[in-house]
Amino acid sequence: MRSITLGRTGVEVPVVSVGTWGHSGPARVKRHAVGWAGGDDEAARAALLRACELGLSHWDTADAYGNGHSEEMIGGLWQTVPRSQVFLASKTGWVKGSAHGYEPDHMRRQIESSLRRLRTETIDLYYLHHCDFGPDDRYLDSAIALLREFQAAGRVRWIGLSDWDSAKVARYAPVVEPDVVQVYRSLLHDPYHESGLADWVAVHGAGVCFFSPLQHGLLLGKYRKPPELDPGDHRSGRPEFRDADLLARLRRCRRAVEVRFGERAQPLLDALLTPLVADVPGACVLVGMRRPEHAEAAAEVCADLSAADIDWVRRLYRGLSSP
Ligand SMILES: NC(=O)c1ccc[n+]([C@@H]2O[C@H](COP(=O)([O-])OP(=O)(O)OC[C@H]3O[C@@H](n4cnc5c(N)ncnc54)[C@H](OP(=O)(O)O)[C@@H]3O)[C@@H](O)[C@H]2O)c1
C-alpha cells in the first residue's frame, strides 16, 4: 500500500485509510437514520485487526458513531494491536448536548469521553465534525479554544475540521487553522476544487482525508435491485439507493472498468479511488471497512492509474446522477 504524507502533520498514512462509521450499528436521531445495519461487532473487530496486519494504520472514528460504540471497540483492541502502530483520529460535534454539540461544557465532556473510550493518552487527530457553530457562530471561538487546550495538554496531537460541504470547510478553515481537513468526495460528488478548499489547502499545507469515496458502497455497482435497508441504516434515507436505473448504470460502469483494468488485483477500487487522490498531494481516502475482506481488498489498491486512465474513468462516471 502506497503511503502519503498527511500535509503539515508530516505523518505518513496509507493512501487508503480505515473508516469506522459502519461499526456503529443501526441508529436514529429524531426521524433521521444515522447508523449502519447489517454489520456485526465480531466482523468489525476482525476488520480492524486485519487492517493493522496489512499496514492500514490510520483509523478514523467519532464520538457519534454508535454514540461511542465505534470508539469503544477500537479502545478494546490495544492488547492485540500496539497503540503506537495506529494513527488514530476521532471527532466531536454531532452528539448534541442540551443546547449544541459545541456548547463548551458538553464539548469538553465529549472529548474526555472520547479519550476514555479509546483508552489512550493522546488522540493523534481530533476533528470538529461539522461547521455549524450555532447562531452567529456563537460556539466557534470556544470550540477552537477547547481543542487548543487539549492540544497544549498533550491529549490531542493535531486538529482537524470536517463537514459534508467542502465550501463550509473552506469558509471556516482560515479561522480554525486545521492541520487536516476531512470532506466528502467521490466520483459522483466532487466539489472539492470549485469550493475553494483546494486553494486553501494548497497554500496552508493541510492534510486531506476524503470520506465516503464509494458513496457508502453504492458506486461498487453491487446492487442488482434497490437493497432492503433497516430503518436505522442511513442508506435507507438516500434516494440513490432506491434508484434502480442508477444502480443498473453503475453495474454497467463496473463491467467496463473490469474489462479495462482486468489485470489489476482491484480494478474497481483502483478506478473509483485513484482519481480522488491523484490531484491532491497529501490526500488519502477513508474507506468504510466492516469485514476483513474489505481490508484485504483495500490493501491491494495501487492508486497509480495514468492520467489517461483517470480521464477515462472520470468520463465513464460523468453524467450519472447524484444528490
Ligand atoms: N467526517 C464526516 O462527516 C464523515 C462522514 C461520512 C464518513 N466519514 C468517514 O469516512 C468513512 C468511509 O465512509 P463510508 O463508510 O460512508 O462509506 P464508503 O467508504 O464510501 O463505503 C463503505 C462501504 O462500502 C462497501 N465496501 C467497502 N469495501 C468493499 C469491498 N472491498 N467489497 C465490497 N464492498 C465494500 C461496504 O458496504 P457494506 O457494508 O454494505 O458491505 C462498506 O461499508 C466512514 O467510515 C467514516 O470514518 C466521515
* Ligand 1 shell residues, CB under 6 Å: 19-22, 60, 129, 162, 164, 182, 211-217, 220, 286-288, 290, 294, 297
Give me 109's grid cell: 465532556
Asked if residue 124 is part of any domain, the answer here is yes
What CATH number is attached to the domain comprising 197?
3.20.20.100
pLDDT recorded at residue 315: 96
Residue range of the domain that includes 47: 3-317
Asked if residue 121 is part of any domain, the answer here is yes
Asked if residue 111 is part of any domain, the answer here is yes
pLDDT recorded at residue 308: 98
Pairing of strands 28-29, 32-33: antiparallel
pLDDT recorded at residue 35: 93
Pairing of strands 3-5, 12-14: antiparallel
CA-to-CA distance for 306 and 314, rounded, in angstroms? 12
**H/E stretch holding 297:** helix 292-299
Judge whether residue 323 has pLDDT over 50.
no
Asked if residue 323 is part of any domain, the answer here is no
- The reply to whether the predicted model has a pTM over 0.85 is yes
Residues 47, 292: contact at Cβ < 8 Å? yes
CB atoms within 10 A of CB 110: 27
pLDDT recorded at residue 147: 98
pLDDT recorded at residue 321: 59
Relative to the CA of 20, which ligand 1 atom is closest?
A: 45
- Distant-in-sequence, close-in-space partners of 111: CB < 8 Å, separation ≥ 6: 92, 126, 146, 147, 150, 155, 156
Which of 229, 294, 301 for mutating ligand 1's site (highest number of atoms within 8 Å of CB)? 294
Asked if residue 32 is part of any domain, the answer here is yes
Which of 48, 220, 223 for mutating ligand 1's site (highest number of atoms within 8 Å of CB)? 220
Asked if residue 154 is part of any domain, the answer here is yes
Asked if residue 103 is part of any domain, the answer here is yes
pLDDT recorded at residue 38: 86
What is the mean predicted confidence (pLDDT) over 303-318? 96
Q: What percent of the chain has pLDDT over 70?
A: 99
88-144 per-position pLDDT tens digit:
999 999 999 788 999 999 999 999 999 999 999 999 999 999 999 999 999 999 999
Q: State the distance from the centre of ligand 1 to the C-alpha of 230, rounded, in angstroms.
A: 17
Q: State the distance from the centre of ligand 1 to the C-alpha of 18, rounded, in angstroms.
A: 9
Please provide the average confidence, as pLDDT, over all residues in the chain: 96
Q: Tell me how many domains the chain contains.
A: 1
237-274 per-position pLDDT tens digit:
999 999 999 999 999 999 999 999 999 999 999 999 99
Asked if residue 146 is part of any domain, the answer here is yes
